[in-house]
Chain A
Amino acid sequence: MAIDEKQNKILLQGNEAIVAGALAAGCNFFAGYPITPASEISELLSVKLPEFGGTFIQMEDEIASIGAILGASLAGAKAMTATSGPGFSLMQENLGYGCIAEVPCVIVNVMRGGPSTGLPTSVSQGDVQMARWGTHGDHPIIVMAVSSVADCFSITVKAFNLSEKYRIPVIILSDEVVAHTRESVVLPEEDSIRVFDRVKPDVPPEWYKPYADNNRGVPDMANFGDGYRHHVTGLVHDENGYPTQNGKEVDAFLRRIHGKISKGFNEIQVTKTYLMEDADVCVIAYGSVARSALRAVRDARANGVKAGLVQLITLFPFPRKTVDAYLRQCRAAVVPEMNMGQIVREVSRVNQTDCRIVKHNRIDGHLITPDEILKHLTTV
């Protein structure tokens, strides 16, 4: 990250901006295993973290990597890992552990072509539904998509904040184009960045119940090793953290971990809109495709089409309210994706009007171009 002293303008890659965002949010622990196109994140953090006493570990694989960040987070660290599709597959089991044990952490998945080792250096959006449902069981999760270098910084900060506030793993979905695009950006001043830390117990250790409900639905979290009794398990547990099969306790626990996220919908579900005020046709897009979409919308306007863009930052929990409102406003919505149609399922599910949903899918390892989207906007 070359920084010029006179101006604050710097040239950053998406992956580098994720590192900058993580550090600004207080990340002090990273465990990972290198993989294209996410390796630059590990590479840079291996230099940056030790500079201030943070910890960087290259683990033997991705299973161990997520294990390490869950452990570090339980001990009080702000922890992150970064990978791509094949590694994200390996992380799924422990991801569920993070959800049920309510361990704050951030997992970056820089999407590349799949399935399997697929297309290591090509772009894709094939892991969207996997990010939502990859780990087994009915679980809450937060998934956010980045589309630019500036996004990579601010959304990473937001991801850490949400993960700390709601005690939940947050997945950042990047893609090969966003990860490797370099842009000139001015990063916000350090003191203008809002950082949220997990709430610690304010009771003496002997009174502490590690999974006791409260009005936020998010139990106070003591650092493992600070003297607060803290039993951690992947089994469904009672408020002391011990396994239970008591139907009432099981029901209350699972409803609480889902409910804590629904309570926060307003701040969790982030969307951005462009030129939507008078739009009668819209593009619903996320990740690098949102940039092609914005170009297409501008070109469509130049052709007299009242087009707008609804960019999804938060993919899950799916921003139903916002999308519903715009579907009611528009006669048609184009949903371009670099997969066979993973978010379009959500859009169609939300659609309760006669708004026509048009999907556009590209799976050849190349970014969707503005022209491909424009063609739909001018013909729907």
Chain B
Amino acid sequence: MKSDERYEIRFSGSGGQGIITAAVVMADGVGRFDNNHVCQTQSYGPEARGGKSKAEVVIAGAPIDYPKALSVDLLLAMNQAACDAYFFDLKADGLLVVDSGLVQQLPTSRSVSIPFTKIAKEETGKELVANMVALGAVAYLSGKVSLDGLEKALLSRVPKGTEEMNSKALHAGIREAKKIDLSSLPRSVMDDWDDEL
């Protein structure tokens, strides 16, 4: 990446969905195995489950000053409330990625809908790893992390005994994302709105 370039990913959903874990694994993959700088931040409520959960990963070619997102390149929304709350500062040419089972109303057609939670259930028997399915897709679609490094990071960050399940989920996410043709999407999140104006 060029030294003044920033790529910003926001992971969002509700507490308990593993939003922060997904962001940490992404940051670890970039931080340890790629040459870019990375900064990961989070915000969450006092609840153990429920409430809004948000985590951001900033990737840059130079040391990162402001640690949070300034304008988001890729927004992952794991529920409708997160999609509604965090869509506003997505870049015009940014990409919205949602769990199609949990987000029905899309604010733009420049979006990718994948049933992460359903896939997690089908692949591993557990909805719990929907975050890793989503991470696989986000990582692939962003093109900002080596997928090998990402898997290494994942294996070192998840609880012992769950490595296989998590890595299966990650690969399922990558596989689904590979089916997406980004060039078929409108170039800007504003495109559908421009037509109406």
Contacts and interface: CB of A to CB of B under 8 A. Distances in A.
Interface stretch (B31-39, B120-128, B131-139, B175-183): B31-39
A256 interface: no
A11 B31 contact: yes
Nearest to A367: B68
A294 B67 CA distance: 11
B24 A182 contact: yes
Contact of A181 (B28, B40, B45): B40
B44 interface: yes
Contacts of B68: 177, 367, 369
A288 B64 CA distance: 12
B66 A181 contact: no
Given A182-B27, A367-B68, A121 B43 contact: yes
A184 B32 CA distance: 7
Contacts of B66: 291-292, 294-295, 369-370
Q: Which of A11, A288, A294 has the most CB of B within 10 A?
A: A11
Interface residues on B, range: 20 to 34
A121 B46 contact: yes
A158 interface: no
A363 interface: no
Chain A interface size range = 20 to 34
A189 interface: no
B65 A295 contact: yes
Interface string A285-313: 00010011011001000000000000000
Interface stretch (A1-9, A74-82, A225-233): A1-9
A36 B45 CA distance: 11
Nearest to A180: B42
B157 interface: yes
B85 interface: no
Contact of B41 (A2, A120, A181, A370): A181
Nearest to B70: A370
Interface in A363-380: 367, 369-370
B146 interface: no
B170 to A, nearest CB: 17
B22 interface: no
Contacts of A120: 46
A206 B196 CA distance: 92
A346 interface: no
B65 A9 contact: no
A238 interface: no
A47 to B, nearest CB: 15
Interface string A25-48: 000000000001000000000000
Interface in A158-198: 177, 180-184
Contact of A11 (B38, B45, B65): B38
Interface in B76-100: none
A10 interface: yes
B142 interface: no
Contacts of B104: none
Contact of B27 (A11, A121, A370): A11
Which of A10, A181, A184 lies at the interface centre, i.e. has the most chain B CB atoms within 10 A of its CB?
A184
Interface of A: 2, 4, 7, 9-11, 36, 120-122, 177, 180-184, 288, 291-292, 294-295, 298, 367, 369-370
- Counting from the closest, the 6 A-B pairs by CB-CB distance are A184-B31, A11-B31, A295-B66, A294-B65, A182-B40, A295-B65
Interface of B: 24, 27-28, 30-33, 37-46, 64-68, 70, 153, 156-157
Given A2-B156, A11-B40, A36-B46, 5 more contacts: A181-B41, A183-B31, A184-B31, A291-B66, A370-B70
5 contacts: A180-B42, A184-B38, A291-B65, A295-B65, A295-B70
